Amino acid sequence: MSRVENLCIVTAQAEFNQAALDELELLDKQLEVVEEFAPGITLCRVSDVPQLMYKASQKLPVFVRHIAPVQTAIDLNNDQQDLGNLALATIELPGITQLERGVHFSVQTRLVQTDTRLGERPFSSGQINQALAEALIEETGAIEDIKKPEVIVSILCTMTRGYLGISTAEENLSSWPGGSRHFANKPEQISRAEFKLLEATEVFGVILPSSGQALDLGAAPGGWTRLLLEAGLQVIAVDPANMDQRLKNHKRLEHYRGYAENFIEEAIDRKARFDILVNDMRMDARDAARLLVRAAICLRPDGIVISVLKLPHATERIDPLLTLKEALRILQRNYDIVQAHQMFHNRQEVTVVAAQPIIKGRR
């Protein structure tokens, strides 16, 4: 076992990994890449890990999903003895005093760099989590809480090395391993796109209104619409494509079978007003931003916008980050941007939450 200095593990979507590292470099000029364990999982050295994690938790970067401190590293032999060594190293972590009686915690393990030449791993990440959690409960009296931990023991194992650290969920930027928020599939689920809205409400701390009017742009087949209806809203779903049959004849749903541009002009003419506007249209981020700016007149003063912004893949001529910056600048003409984040359920896209600008202390 060895002490390590100024190391942390940064996680991002693989294609936006460099953008994530660039965001952190703005917070710590001394950041350097030590090793890339897997696409989007990078071991970095910085000048001060706690300070970087604090700054990131305040700044809320767009592309960084998760940061875990590395306070101890141990050699692994890829055998059953590794589990005992990981447990011992965990108990000896410098921040273990954070786990006091009654504190809610979780152990989060990620296994990377599988090498079949070294044989099969003798344990799964779940087995490590369970064994270490049981030991910590007995040792400290803390309470295991996988969904809402206050303190997280983070472990990343390659085939030959284990990296361990302890920190708060807030410092990690996510209470989920690597920022990977998973949701259970449900029989009533219409599309996997539902996970994007569910994750957005969780990440941004948004509670969907339980009544009022919602506008869903790019609605088909109806995943987001279903969640809005489930919350209790009246929904106008805008999309030229068909909605899922399970939503047919829902008393609080109106399906506008046409293009968003046309609907918005009609809505402006009839002075329609909405409490929430959501968008997941397959449209260039800048074009979507222009459309949302046009629709701002239809949003009530205390209304919110949750929008996915689609980004192009990077090429020699195309910079997706420039596209995002342009889209956000367009949105800022009519909205205050609360937060933008590239979430686990996003693909080549970023989700934004925005609101009407505050004027003279009132919306």
Is residue 106 a contact partner of residue 155, using CB atoms and an 8 Å limit? no
Whether 232 contacts 211, CB under 8 Å: yes
Residues 303 and 363: their CA atoms lie apart, in Å, by 9
Give the HSE-up count for residue 197: Cα atoms under 13 Å, Cβ half-sphere.
26
What pLDDT is recorded for position 2?
A: 57
**326 is written with which tokens?**
């342009």
How far is it, in rounded angstroms, from Cα 293 to Cα 111?
Answer: 44
Q: Take residue 50 and report the two structure tokens written for it.
A: 């706690």
Tokens of 164: 């361990």
- 88, 90, 94, 100 alpha-carbon torsion, rounded to 10°: -110
Q: What is the pLDDT along the chain (363 residues), one digit of tens a residue?
A: 555 789 999 999 999 999 999 999 999 999 999 999 999 999 999 999 999 999 999 999 999 999 999 999 999 998 889 999 999 999 999 889 999 999 999 999 999 976 666 677 889 999 999 999 999 999 899 999 999 999 999 999 999 999 999 999 999 999 999 999 999 999 999 999 999 999 999 999 999 999 999 999 999 999 999 999 999 999 999 999 999 999 998 999 999 999 999 999 999 999 999 999 999 999 999 999 999 999 999 999 999 999 999 999 988 888 999 999 999 999 999 999 999 999 999 999 999 999 988 643 444
* Residue 90, amino acid: T
CA angle 118, 120, 124 (to 5 degrees): 125
Q: CB–CB of 186/208 below 8 Å? A: no
pLDDT at 198: 97
State the Cα angle at 241 between 240 and 243, rounded to 5°. 120
| Under 8 Å between Cβ of 38 and 10 | no
Complete domains list, the chain, with CATH: 2-179 (3.30.2130.30), 194-355 (3.40.50.150)
pTM of the model: 0.91
Q: Which amino acid is at 171?
A: E
Q: How far apart are CA 309 and CA 286, in angstroms?
A: 8
Residue 45 in contact with residue 34, Cβ under 8 Å?
yes
Structure tokens at 42: 């990078």
Give burial (CB, 10 Å; 0-12/13-18/19+) of 187: exposed
Provide the greatest CA pair distance for the chain: 71
Give the full edge-to-edge strand order of the sheet including 161-168.
32-38, 41-45, 2-11, 66-75, 161-168, 151-157, 104-111, 143-144
Give the closest residue to 154 by CA, choosing from 234, 78, 95, 210: 95
C-alpha span between 253 and 229 (Å, rounded): 8
